[in-house]
Amino acid sequence: MTDHLLEVRNLSVRFHTAQGFVNAVNDVSWHLDRGETLAILGESGSGKSVSSSAIMNLIDCPPGEITSGEILFDGQDLLQLDNEARRALNGKRIAMIFQDPMSHFNPVYTVGWQIEETVTAHGRPAAQARARALELVKRVGIPDPEGALNKYPHEFSGGQRQRLMIAMALALKPDILIADEPTTALDVTVQAEVLTLLHELQDETGMGLVLITHDLGVVADVADRLVVMEKGCIVETGRPHDIYHNAQHPYTRKLIAAAPGKGVMRQPDPSAAPILCVQGLQKSYGTFHALSGVTFDVRRGETLAVVGESGSGKSTIARLVLRLESSSGGKALWKGEDLLTKTPKEMSKVRREIQMVFQDPTQSLNPKMTVFQIISEAWAIHRDVLPKDKWRARVEELLDQVGLEAGHAERYPHQFSGGQRQRIAIARALALEPELIICDEAVSALDVSIQAQVIELLGKLRDDLGIAFIFIAHDLPVVRDFADRVLVMKSGEIVEDGSVEQIFEAPRKPYTKRLLAAGLDPDPAVQKQRRDARLAL
Amino acid sequence: MSEHVAATVRPHRKTVFGRFISMLWADKFAFFATTFLLLVVLCALIGPSLLEDVAGKQNLRARNAPPFVLDRGWVYFLGGDALGRPLFARIVVAAQNTMMVAAGAVALSITIGATLGLIAGYLGRWPSEIIMRFADVIMSFPSLLLAVIVLYILEPSVGNLIIVLAITRIPIYLRTTRAEVLEVRERMFVQAAQVMGASSGRIIFRHILPMIFPTLVTIATLDFAFVMLAESALSFLGIGIQPPEITWGLMVSQGRQYLTSAWWLAFWPGLIIILTTMSLNLLSSWMRTALDPTQRWRLEIGGKSND
Amino acid sequence: MKNRIGQRAISSLISLFGLVILVFFLSRLTGDPSALFLPVDASESMRENFRELHGLNDPLLVQFGHYVGDLLRGDFGDSLRRARPALDVVLEAFVWTLQLAAITMTLVTIAAIVVGSIAAFKVGSLFDRAASLLSLIGASAPDFWIAIVAIVVFSLQLGWLPTSGTGTVWHWVLPITILFLRPFGLILQVVRGSMLTALGSAYVKTARAKGVKNNRLIFVHTLRNAMLPVITVIGDQAAALLNGAVIVETIFGFPGVGKLMIDAILQRDFNVILAAIMVTALAIFIMNLLIDLAYAILDPRIRT
């Protein structure tokens, strides 16, 4: 008999795939007590979500198969219960919320209907459900709660949807809430609010919280205990503070070391000449101003970071400068000539000098072309750069430069991992020997350890080749380590502009302060101070 | 350089071909469907040159001869028609017209439809609007009726039949292509090519077309069956192919009046039609899986267990 | 939503006008129109009379003006064979076709949704495979051949069902069964695929995590989402039935629009053909509006 609220013992799950059986988790054991927050930390493919799916009976068999283990809750092994008994527990005793609340809400029913359903699904009368739904929506802080009940999921913002998702999960005051990457798709300020809400609700109800995440900052913010997973196995368990300062397993140490935001800050070189001068750049869609008059310079060899939350217009700058969209006004002077008024033919020449690396390498590489074709396409377009007989040698040289092997040239993008694909995308950008590379969230889709490697590669290229970067990102610690200067954007305008040191050490504007305060520090002790400071703000 | 390329490309091609064969083998229905279709195509290509004379020769003693009797030779295995011509030979010979009309119509409609779809999807708003309205006009007409009316005004020859059937099918390809182009052109690798300075032609032919090609081929396979049915129906109504030319649909039509006395006259050509269209359906649904990288594993698992 | 219907109305009007132009020029430019309107054996003086009477010697644009003017007043001229207004003849036949299409589509929709949903929920089972086979046969069958084989078996050999006409309920059985097959096969496949996608979606996971029962999961959560792509196909198939039952109506001697058109073509009764085209095009337009409405009722995302 166990005295834990929930205990997973020796759980192994495997999936049937094209490559045969793949073990998703191997002999995993952990437990959760009442009122406690357990974080399960892992990168993609670590199997961090699998044990929760097993708890919620969400693993489809086939292709999934639970090969061993037990899940003890209330003195019963959940895996021995029939589906009806499991269903009766779901939502009532154990509830779950997910990443990406948009797709996890049913798009064709109102949120009120969906929250009430949790109540009625377990046999409570409809009138009671309505009252409870209203109470919950009020509690999670949605404006106009009565009106909100009759709205559809698409009518809310991402942060509001996650709040509603939490309301729905907590409708029957469950003993356990499992949160699978609940804040991953959200802006930092919204993330901080949602985590605070979860914390408060836990204090009110005394529920146990299982928080699945890839983010050390989230762990530091809320976790009482931590389980670190790698490739389906638990490599380390303990208190976050102990693990952070005294990790035993090499993988945990690597993860902690990879967390950005601890390096030496760079100093901008004021003597370098500007190569790109953006003046009063504007973009509007109808009456909506995505960008309203933005002015800044990029100097030769300099890294300018553009940070801001979603909807701040930071990516619009890249799209306008590269003429992927037409601007509504302003200038972008590249070495004195306005890019925005160039004919397509003139623009084609400039494109050799300005290249771009996109957010998601899975999508930015044509899946039907080999790596050789992807990289050499640049020379097929700009015929005078390199004679055809030198292509292969140069591709191999570039692959070597970004840390891949020459033999990779004949492979297709899907044969590489996410980090390798981003290296290919970088090699493609380098093919034309540009003077400026615009990185649009170039590392935000990557796992932390991969992210660190790619940032290191970009830093090396900057030092070796003297390339300037516009580094568009929402992740402040990465920016702190990599950039020379920072532009902070909000609602299509520049809020603050300064050197990295000035922005991070002495922010002047309230918005910048709030943004920085909302960021999570991987060190639990530091994060505790930050949290208190933010709540006081 | 060219030698080098050939050396690296060829073994790759071979493995692709081999992989497709094993994926086809993994789905037995699709495998037999393909085999049957290859047989039909073979009949269409060389059937007339081998059996044209036999198929046209009238033999009064073999009028409405019953099937499964080998006395008059193997060409009478399926029986004889109202003029004593061997049904088997006639079905083989008719394969050519039937296939030619369907293949011609599909090829023509896919070419025009895909081109217009590319233009509508890639160029600005106005060309797109005009082209889509054009598609609406055709779509607001059921294809069979449009064909009936046009063939009423024009003369029902093989060429006209191909053109008419092609026109009725253009909207399918046009809409599919446009929808896919609109989706693919927003993908990041297309934008990456734009950033590199790629021309519109390059983006369309190197990046967009290869992405939508599998969808088009899958639809074309299914559509081939549809066009075949439409041609058969027109010939059945007497406004398609005219005698002495023959198609399977026309054979069913000619056999209709002997239904009570000699059912086989209409039965065999109809059976061949249904087998062919079913094969095309099976092949198309196999393609939907085989050409979709996220679904392909289903067939690859099956293929492996047979190795 | 109002915008959407307005847009649909405008684009349909443009399409209808395109159709008018198409029919006009096909009838005037592909040879002597009198050859289209008059019997094959008409004499030259009859033809000349006819041209004078119908203004066929006027300039093309003037003729087009008259033609459009007549259409706007709903005047399609008389049926040359029946000496009655062409529109009356067509509407009479259209009522028959409408009944046939409505009954068939109702049966098809119910059957395809029920069978398709069950097949998707029990994917890979015997039921699923049987349903797939059924839908394959339905979608591939040449209707004219199935029809004549059915007549031989059920009417001539077994004597259970009448071969043609509309007298009793039994007269409707074979036409409806034959018409049922293809739309059933096609819609069944779409329902199954769409249900499979819906069952694998994230919101189903949420509902399972909430403890929602299986029946409710299928019929409340997924079905409504899965219906969205299905509605479009139902619309296409219904449109095809509304004026495309040519084969079945001809074979079973059913007095609908399809048979009327074939007869009119064989009898060279051009006014009837024209009226039939316009009536069916209008019917399709109305049906598309209904489809749009159904879409809006099912999916709140496009209502705004």
Question: Model confidence over A73-111: pLDDT tens digits?
Answer: 888 888 888 888 888 888 889 999 988 888 899 988 999
| In chain C, where the domains are located | 1-77, 87-298
Question: Model confidence over A338-367: pLDDT tens digits?
Answer: 888 888 888 888 888 999 998 888 888 988
At the fourth CATH level, the homologous superfamily of domain A300-324+349-521 is P-loop containing nucleotide triphosphate hydrolases (3.40.50.300)
pLDDT for the residue A375: 93
> In the sheet where A288-299 sits, what is the strand order?
A288-299, A274-285, A329-334, A337-338
A208 pLDDT more than 70: yes
Distance of alpha carbon B186 from alpha carbon B184, whole angstroms: 5
Distance of alpha carbon C108 from alpha carbon B229, whole angstroms: 21
* Chain mean pLDDT for chain C: 80
Q: How far is C185 from chain A (nearest CA, A)?
A: 27
C137 pLDDT more than 80: yes
Question: Model confidence over A11-35: pLDDT tens digits?
Answer: 998 887 766 788 888 889 999 998 8
A368 and B210 within 8 Å at the Cβ level: the answer is: yes
For chain A, percent of residues with pLDDT exceeding 70: 99
Written as one letter, the residue type at A443 is V
- What number of residues does chain C have? 304
Q: How far is B11 from chain C (nearest CA, A)?
A: 36
Question: Model confidence over B205-252: pLDDT tens digits?
Answer: 888 888 888 888 878 888 888 888 888 888 887 777 777 778 888 888
Distance of alpha carbon A274 from alpha carbon A268, whole angstroms: 12
Mean pLDDT is lowest, of A284-298, A351-365, A502-516, B2-16, for B2-16
For residues A47-74, give the mean pLDDT.
85
C21 pLDDT more than 70: yes
> Which three-class secondary structure state does DSSP give residue C143?
helix
For residues A418-447, give the mean pLDDT.
88
Among candidates B188, B211, B297 on the partner chain, residue whose Cβ is nearest the Cβ of A358: B188
Which three-class secondary structure string do you get for chain B? CHHHHHHHHHHHHHHHHHHHHHHHHHCHHHHHHHHHHHHHHHHHHHHHHHHHHHHHCCCHHHCCCCCCCCCCCHHHCCCECCCCCEHHHHHHHHHHHHHHHHHHHHHHHHHHHHHHHHHHHHCCHHHHHHHHHHHHHHHCCCHHHHHHHHHHHCCCCHHHHHHHHHHHHHHHHHHHHHHHHHHHCCCHHHHHHHHHCCCHHHHHHHHHHHHHHHHHHHHHHHHHHHHHHHHHHHHHHCCCCCCCCCCHHHHHHHHHHHCCCCCHHHHHHHHHHHHHHHHHHHHHHHHHHHCCCCCCHHHHHHHHHCC
To 10 degrees, what angle do helices A158-169 and A126-139 make?
Answer: 130
Written as one letter, the residue type at A182 is P
More confident residue, B72 or A92: A92
Peptide bond into B48 cis (omega under 30): no
Mutate to test the interface with B, among A363, A410, A436 (most CBs of B within 10 A): A363
pLDDT for the residue B10: 37
For residues B100-106, give the mean pLDDT.
89
Query: What is the number of alpha carbons within 13 Å of residue B164 lying toward its C-beta?
Result: 28
pLDDT for the residue B54: 67
pLDDT for the residue B306: 32
H-only helix segments in chain C: 2-29, 33-37, 44-53, 60-72, 86-121, 126-140, 143-150, 170-199, 202-210, 214-216, 223-244, 246-251, 257-266, 270-298
**Most confident listed range (A316-320, B143-147, C269-273):** A316-320
Triad B46, B50, B55: Cα angle to 5°? 115
Asked whether residue B7 is assigned to any structural domain, the reply reads: no
Instruction: Tell whether B210 is within 8 A of chain A (Cβ).
Output: yes
pLDDT for the residue B307: 30
Using CB atoms, which chains have 3+ pairs under 8 A with B?
A: A, C
In 3D space, the residue among A428, A476, A479 whose CA is nearest the CA of residue A455 turns out to be A479
| In chain A, where the domains are located | 33-55+83-258, 300-324+349-521
CB B92 within 8 A of CB B248: no
Question: Model confidence over B121-143: pLDDT tens digits?
Answer: 887 677 777 787 777 777 766 66
Between residues 112 and 131 of chain A, which touch chain C (CB distance below 8 Å)? 117-118, 121-122
Q: Which residue of C has its CA nearest to B266?
A: C145
B133 and C15 within 8 Å at the Cβ level: the answer is: yes
* Chain mean pLDDT for chain A: 88
Q: How many domains does chain B have?
A: 1
Contacts of C243 in chain B (CB under 8 A): 142, 145
pLDDT for the residue A179: 92
Question: Model confidence over C74-117: pLDDT tens digits?
Answer: 777 777 667 788 888 888 888 888 888 899 999 999 999 989 88
pLDDT for the residue A164: 92
CB A29 within 8 A of CB A10: yes
CB A162 within 8 A of CB A97: yes
* Chain mean pLDDT for chain B: 77
pLDDT for the residue A1: 47
Question: Model confidence over A240-281: pLDDT tens digits?
Answer: 899 999 889 999 998 888 888 777 888 888 888 889 999 999
More confident residue, B67 or C135: C135
Q: Residue C298: which residues within 8 A CB-CB, separation 6 or more?
A: A108, C224, C227, C228, C231
More confident residue, A161 or B43: A161
pLDDT for the residue B12: 43
Task: Record the pTM.
Answer: 0.77
More confident residue, C264 or B72: C264
pLDDT interval class at A212 (50, 70, 90): very high
pLDDT for the residue B267: 82
B119 pLDDT more than 70: yes
For chain B, percent of residues with pLDDT exceeding 90: 2
For residues A316-341, give the mean pLDDT.
89
pLDDT for the residue B86: 77
pLDDT for the residue A424: 92
Among candidates B150, B154, B237 on the partner chain, residue whose Cβ is nearest the Cβ of C262: B237
More confident residue, A245 or C17: A245
B3 pLDDT more than 60: no
pLDDT interval class at A436 (50, 70, 90): very high
C243 pLDDT more than 70: no
Contacts of C19 in chain B (CB under 8 A): 137, 140-141
More confident residue, C17 or A167: A167
Mutate to test the interface with C, among A104, A150, A178, A180 (most CBs of C within 10 A): A104
Contacts of B188 in chain A (CB under 8 A): 358-360, 363-364
Written as one letter, the residue type at C152 is V
Contacts of B150 in chain C (CB under 8 A): 26
Q: What are phi and psi of A253, to 5 degrees?
A: -60, -40
For residues A370-379, give the mean pLDDT.
92
Which domain covers residue B150, as residue numbers? 16-300
pLDDT interval class at A486 (50, 70, 90): very high
Mutate to test the interface with A, among C125, C206, C222 (most CBs of A within 10 A): C206
For residues B85-112, give the mean pLDDT.
85
Among candidates C203, C211, C298 on the partner chain, residue whose Cβ is nearest the Cβ of A104: C203
CATH of residue B142: 1.10.3720.10
pLDDT for the residue A228: 93
For residues C60-66, give the mean pLDDT.
80
For chain B, percent of residues with pLDDT exceeding 70: 79
Query: What is the number of alpha carbons within 13 Å of residue A79 lying toward its C-beta?
Result: 22
Asked whether the domain spanning A300-324+349-521 has the same topology as the one spanning A33-55+83-258, the reply is yes
CATH number of C87-298: 1.10.3720.10
ipTM for the complex shown: 0.79
Among candidates B140, B145, B260 on the partner chain, residue whose Cβ is nearest the Cβ of C261: B145
Instruction: Tell whether C244 is within 8 A of chain B (Cβ).
Output: yes
Q: How far is C296 from chain A (nearest CA, A)?
A: 10
A33-55+83-258 is a CATH 3.40.50.10860 domain: no
Q: How far is A108 from chain C (nearest CA, A)?
A: 5
Contacts of A169 in chain C (CB under 8 A): 209-210
